[in-house]
Structure 1
Amino acid sequence: MQPRPFRFPPAAAPLRLAIRSALGAACLLPFAAPAQEAPALEPLVVTGTRTEKTLADTPIRTEIVTREELERTNARTLTDALENIPGLLLTEIHGKSGYELSLQGLTGDQVLVLIDGLPISASTSSTVDLSQYLLTDIDHIEVVKGAASAQYGSSAMGGVINVITRPARPGLSGTATLDAGSYGDQNSSGGSLKPANRHGLFTLQGGSQTLRARIAADVLDDDGFGVDPDSWSRQGDEVRRQQYSARVDWLPTAAQSYWLDGSVYREDDTQRYTTFVPPNLLPQRKTEHITRDRLAGGGQWRLDNGMRLQLKGLGESYDSASNEYSQDYLVTRRNAKQNMGHVTAQVDLPAWHSQLWQLGVDYHREDMTQDNNGVSEFVRAGSVERSSRELFVQNDILFNDTWELLLGARAQDDSDFGSHFAPKASLRGKLLDTADWNGVLRASFGQGYRVPNLKERYYLFDHSALGYMVVGNPDLKPESSNSAQLGGTLTFREHLSLEVNAFMNRVKDLIQTDMNDVAVVNGISVYTYRNVARARTRGIETGLRWDATPALTLTAGYTFNDAKDLDSGNELTRRPRHVGRLGFDWRFLPATELTMRTRVQSGELVSSDDVAQTSGGAAGGGRSPGWTTVDLAVNHRIGRQLTLFVGVKNLFDRQRDFTNPTDFGPLRGRFVYAGARYAFGGTQ
């Protein structure tokens, strides 16, 4: 589908002027006036080791999305927050109004998503829907790729996404954000000027130095969009997302702290599509109501001898009720319920002969029920459940100011799959340390594993009306992997930073739908999940950051990924070989900043039946074409409290061809938005 010409309507003249002015001013980049700015503090990260370390000092490679980046790009959901990380891919979840991720060629089932180190429920007990977490109280996000850390068990063989929230602050402060946007002539409600997407966020916090609390509300309302708004079908679903939370922090002494965080999430979405029943296209509709209730809490104690103790846990329920209609007649009513509990305890021992020992235990339990028109959709009737008990140990050995070795191991005892043991090792060397140059080498090796999720083992995915069904397999074995990372970071005067990392992941007993062993029952093709393959992903990730002036920062990233089925020798599907990121942040006026983010992705194989088709970026047979998108945002600060912003996502309107089933390019076309963010009481 060719990009459509776009013209701003007369009422959008201010936005047109702002964007044209910003683009015109970009020509003056070399002459940007330097702005005085306090030096930034080195970020602290915790995901790789579960102890606070600066980003430069952590032995496990960690990438970070700062709160400043979230505000600069006006991100609303976890999907928005992660889309600019090099090598991280986002794809739509089949049959859902959300997105999942993959890291280094490993899928969303193999990547663990955490909130403050605690897991979040996966949609239908499979992969986490990133769109179902709004960025209400986020401080920053940490990304660890590969199975390098001993801190995390099943589902972390591909890496970890850890969302770090902010504790409540003393005093009285708060924020309020309102914004709205339009899909132009694809607005479902008609009229390109009418806001088709509305968002509101409010937080209020306060208290004393020892006791403080915060409440927050975040609502995102999207009318959806359609290539032809006058037709029944909608390519973009109508979705309303709501997230409400409350948090209490108690710090009775300098040596101990406690926190309690509760949140509720509500989602209502509607999908509209057609099914061909000769000789007509019949209108179809699916509605889904999702609720997630989460209560998490924990405490931390520091003893006089330097020992630190941590304990935290959560209870979470996730319910989904969906109805499918054909010409307004209810044909399917599906209900799914999940419950999850997780407790983790950790002991950090005092430093001993330049060694930092850490011990910890995790307990995890989950169960799920699902029915279709009152009939269980599991291979066995009733609810399904699993639990695991895990022990991890880690020793951080500081040989000298140059070399650091992190050794770890994790043992898991699963209720259904017995025991598993995974060793880990990471090496960090500060090879260059002068007044101008700093160079750090990082190498890691770790074994990963993933227990089959409840969906793969028990779920009956019945699409008989479409001629097929997928049946769960209770006899699946866990996946296992070997993950190796080798790379380094070179920094010049903290203004120029270059990072290069090579990776290899080898997966054994890869779980996927077996397309080669199909049973036909009453004309219906019946597939099942099997441990059918060995796979390998390998490649190189690069990242560059250049603070050209105090007012201008340039960033770039490139990832090459070679993903192969080692049994067949074929390329793995939905894994593009080339992914690029390019961006800049330019404060061309003292209070006004222009941000640009570009994403480039090569073609990707869609069907393994078409491996003989052209490779690279060519579109042919089962290969989706490559694509490029550009986002622009202008943030203008008025005083210390008010920020006005405007932006365009997918500036050049690169949208997939919906008539081509192998085109998996961007789902949404151009989206124009504007809004305001207000902070009071010292909240920044």
Structure 2
Amino acid sequence: MKFKSLINFLFLFYIQIIFCQKISAQKILVSGKVIDAEKKEALVGVTVLADNAAGTYTDLNGNWQLPLSEAAHQIKFSYIGWNDTTVSCSIKSGNEIQLIVLSQKRNTLNEIVVGANRYSRPLAEQTVSMNILHPQELQNKNLQNAADALDQVPGITVIDGQAGIRGGSGYAFGAGSRVMIVVDEQPILSADKNDVKWSFIPMENIEQIEIVKGASSVQYGSAALNGVVNIHTAFPTSKPETKMNLFFTRFDGSIPASQILFGDKNPFSIGGYILHKRKIGRSDFVFDAYGYQSRSWLQGDSAKRIRGHFKYRYRANDKLQFGVNATGMFQNTSQFLFWSNDTTGAYHPLNGSTTLIPLKEIYTTVNPYLTLFSKNGARHNIQLQFYHSNQISLGLWQPVANLFSGDYSYLKEISSWKFSGGINGNIYFFKDDGLGGLHIGNSGAAFFQLEKNWKRFRMEGGARYEIFRIDTLTDHSKPVGRIGIQYTANKKTFIRASFGQGFRVPSPAERFIKYGIGDINIYPNDTLKPESGWSAEIGVRKQLDKKKFNGYVDGALYMMGYKNMMEFAFGQWGKPTDPLIGIGFRAMNVNEARIAGFEFETGAKTFINKVKWNFDGGYTYSYPVDLQADSSLRTPSNFISRFVKGLSQPDSLFKIGLLRYRNRHLLKFNTDFEWKKFSFGGTGHYYSRMDNIDFYFSIFIPGIKDYRATHLQGDWVFDLRFGYQTQYGKVALLCNNLLNAYYAIRVGKPDAPRNFTLQYSFDF
């Protein structure tokens, strides 16, 4: 039945494509080209609309064609981030060719994003909450991996590599992500653990990072239950570019003498990259190489890695382009798990080196792709991927995981309607004795979305059907849908509302893992059930634009619901004869969970008296509860009462039923100034105390109870940075954790003390 349902779904999808392709009838073919006013380069994907009815897009060379009747027409050219242009023309016979020049908008926060739709739209017109990170911010803060970049975003925490949006995830021991990470339109979750290798993402060539908050499984699959992170790497412009960046970080004097043991070495990190981008004829090339070494403030925790990244694109003609992206990385790391205690042993591993995790790893990904614009203006996109990971364990190259995936997507705009859809398939093989040996799995999906535009009102909705199999034991499938509404109240006020569903199957690591780290074991759970959920929000965004000032305020109310939510729990899962009498980690299902909250963000940019200033920040409040642990919260009045009480300092009864490893309050802000060749910036983060953790943590990990008793009010962390631009490059000095706060976002593992970084960057 499930296979038959998928066939029916694909048939309906095919019929819609045929319908879209037959709508436009040939009349007189009018053609032209659209270019950028400054760079004189072709603009791809410009919307060309005649009389607010017939429409198309510009192709890879900025060319467009449109069949029109013999009459007078108003042809409008619009491109996100550029000023609209309208041309009046009278069609009599033959082709009328015109060169259209569009100028880019200046001083605006209404930025371009892909969002949850797989196609571009202004940020203010999205139906879900979104944030954007730009490459300049990443370089200014010397952020070396994507996890550190996400941690700058309001409402997001990254705990031991696990990203959580608005309390959607807690501590997952590095397995099973609810946030889908997409790099250049390809998911990069590993086949065995469904986790993200943050250091594998080429941060040196980022064009833009977009964060979608809320369920986005319709377009991106099951792992997008809590949101999507879209990472776009850059292509060359008309001029060749070569960039170099070097940095060195020291933690001198920032660890109290009482916590330094004889023989400890000074912690440091050093690294850099070189990047080259250029166009040669119809070909675009990108090469970069990256190296990094660190000796952490946590004894025994270290990393050495090298990474290479390559992009190639060939523009065959006006309608066709194809290329390949490839990334490879080797790293040798040792990971710190738990402290010895919260005072003299805070920076030393529990039970010595037995709780360190040494790893040697190789990661490789190759992504061929093809984009084709058909004559009727439809876009066809094919993405293929090979993702390989390998680890050395006891001298053997194991575990080994291989993922093969293919994705086809289709986009067509007809008048005020826009249709997108596609199919996706994955096959994976991995062998890991810690996961029960050899496993073979596959998945397949079909999805579509329709969008309708009115004058001030826009609605979008879609659905996805996905099937999962691993070995011969599991077979899970469930349809999911989403709907979004956006209303433009006026030119500067945008109201949005959305509802989306999600569905996630357990990763092989969550289901089968059996692994020991010293005396601490991770136990399997072959009865683990898939989790499903939904996310809803309503929000408003207000633009604040004046002559030299550009800003915005954004507010949202949100709620998420989960059934069979998968959470790692620390408890007695093994036999009494096992180490620590069987105490360890195991993935468990939370029967029903609900998370509600609100978020407020603001930003501003201005340029006064040769001083550039920008600011952005946000506050997030979330109330995450386990409805199985406290069934009284199923009553709306009780839930609302507790929700309000959580805004202040609630009593001990309030904490009954709270989900583990979540921060109720998050506050983050960032500011930057530029004057002539000088730059100055600062960042502040506040993390409230985690209200609930596993009971056994406080018993078996020394110092947990004492640490939590002395950190009732949460933690503030501040960073400062200074820079000076010379003709020979930019030199910057950064001080992170300026006040040397002693804090641990994930209890039992202290975060970095005060450190200083010297950075040098040069553009050839």
TM-score class, shorter = 0.7 to 0.9
Alignment of 1:215-614 (within 5 A): 215-226=287-298, 233-234=299-300, 237-271=301-335, 284=354, 286-322=357-393, 335-352=398-415, 354-370=416-432, 376-379=433-436, 382-400=437-455, 402-415=456-469, 416-433=474-491, 438-462=492-516, 466=519, 469-493=521-545, 495-513=550-568, 518=573, 520-523=575-578, 524-525=581-582, 528-550=586-608, 551-569=612-630, 570-587=657-674, 589-609=675-695
| SS of match in other structure, 1:572 | coil
Q: Bigger CA drift: 109-118 or 439-448? A: 109-118
Distance 1:346 1:305 in 2: 16
Task: Name the CA shift for 1:317/1:38 in 2 (closer, same or farther; >3 Å).
Answer: same
Task: Name the CA shift for 1:334/1:247 in 2 (closer, same or farther; >3 Å).
Answer: closer
Query: Whose helix fraction is larger, Structure 1's or Structure 2's?
Result: 2
CA contact (8 A) 2:364 2:388 kept: yes
By how many angstroms is 1:209 displaced? Answer: 4.3
Distance 2:626 2:250 in 1: 42
CA contact (8 A) 1:88 1:101 kept: yes
The corresponding residue for 2:14 is none
1:470-497 Cα deviation digits (max 9, x unpaired): 4323332210001101111011116221
By how many angstroms is 1:206 displaced? Answer: 2.0
1:297-327 Cα deviation digits (max 9, x unpaired): 211111221111111121010112245xxxx
Task: Name the CA shift for 1:216/1:190 in 2 (closer, same or farther; >3 Å).
Answer: farther
CA contact (8 A) 2:254 2:754 kept: no
Q: Bigger CA drift: 101-110 or 556-565? A: 101-110
Q: Bigger CA drift: 240-249 or 444-453? A: 240-249
| SS of match in other structure, 1:136 | helix
CA contact (8 A) 1:121 1:316 kept: no
**Match status 1:59 vs 2:127:** yes
Distance 1:38 1:247 in 2: 30
The corresponding residue for 1:180 is 248
1:233-252 Cα deviation digits (max 9, x unpaired): 44xx1111221011111112
For 1:651, the aligned partner's letter is L
Task: Name the CA shift for 1:38/1:498 in 2 (closer, same or farther; >3 Å).
Answer: closer
CA contact (8 A) 1:171 1:208 kept: no
By how many angstroms is 1:117 displaced? Answer: 2.0
By how many angstroms is 1:43 displaced? Answer: 2.8
CA contact (8 A) 1:610 1:621 kept: no
Distance 1:281 1:575 in 2: 27
Q: Bigger CA drift: 111-120 or 142-151? A: 142-151
The corresponding residue for 1:632 is 720
Distance 2:507 2:696 in 1: 29
Distance 1:462 1:506 in 2: 33
Distance 2:217 2:192 in 1: 27
Task: Name the CA shift for 1:155/1:462 in 2 (closer, same or farther; >3 Å).
Answer: same
Task: Name the CA shift for 1:521/1:378 in 2 (closer, same or farther; >3 Å).
Answer: farther
Task: Name the CA shift for 1:662/1:72 in 2 (closer, same or farther; >3 Å).
Answer: closer
| SS of match in other structure, 1:141 | strand
The corresponding residue for 1:3 is none
1:521-553 Cα deviation digits (max 9, x unpaired): 535427753434211111111101123544222
CA contact (8 A) 2:523 2:573 kept: no
**Match status 1:207 vs 2:295:** no
For 2:219, the aligned partner's letter is Q
Task: Name the CA shift for 1:137/1:222 in 2 (closer, same or farther; >3 Å).
Answer: same
For 1:238, the aligned partner's letter is S
CA contact (8 A) 1:618 1:625 kept: no
CA contact (8 A) 2:191 2:428 kept: no
For 2:484, the aligned partner's letter is S
Distance 1:283 1:510 in 2: 33
By how many angstroms is 1:186 displaced? Answer: 6.1
CA contact (8 A) 2:304 2:333 kept: yes
By how many angstroms is 1:109 displaced? Answer: 1.9
CA contact (8 A) 1:388 1:412 kept: yes
Distance 1:369 1:488 in 2: 48
By how many angstroms is 1:135 displaced? Answer: 0.4
Q: Bigger CA drift: 63-72 or 544-553? A: 544-553
Distance 1:41 1:445 in 2: 25
1:371-396 Cα deviation digits (max 9, x unpaired): xxxxx2234xx311321110111001
1:103-132 Cα deviation digits (max 9, x unpaired): 121226211111112111349614324244
Q: TM-score, normalised by structure 1?
A: 0.80
For 2:313, the aligned partner's letter is D
CA contact (8 A) 1:180 1:674 kept: yes
CA contact (8 A) 1:292 1:318 kept: yes
Gaps of 5+ in 1: 1-36, 93-98, 227-232, 324-331, 371-375
**Match status 1:677 vs 2:761:** yes
| SS of match in other structure, 1:50 | coil
**Match status 1:103 vs 2:165:** yes
Q: TM-score, normalised by structure 2?
A: 0.72
The corresponding residue for 2:643 is none
Distance 1:282 1:599 in 2: 32
| SS of match in other structure, 1:457 | helix
Alignment of 1:154-173 (within 5 A): 154-173=222-241
CA contact (8 A) 1:571 1:608 kept: no
| SS of match in other structure, 1:338 | strand
- Structure exhibiting the larger radius of gyration computed from Cα positions: 2
| SS of match in other structure, 2:273 | strand
CA contact (8 A) 1:49 1:149 kept: no
> How many residues were matched structurally?
596
**Match status 1:125 vs 2:183:** no
For 1:478, the aligned partner's letter is P
CA contact (8 A) 1:170 1:209 kept: no
Task: Name the CA shift for 1:447/1:274 in 2 (closer, same or farther; >3 Å).
Answer: closer
| SS of match in other structure, 2:129 | coil
Task: Name the CA shift for 1:611/1:578 in 2 (closer, same or farther; >3 Å).
Answer: farther
Distance 1:52 1:148 in 2: 16
For 1:642, the aligned partner's letter is G
| SS of match in other structure, 1:155 | helix
| SS of match in other structure, 2:679 | strand
Superposition RMSD in Å = 3.3
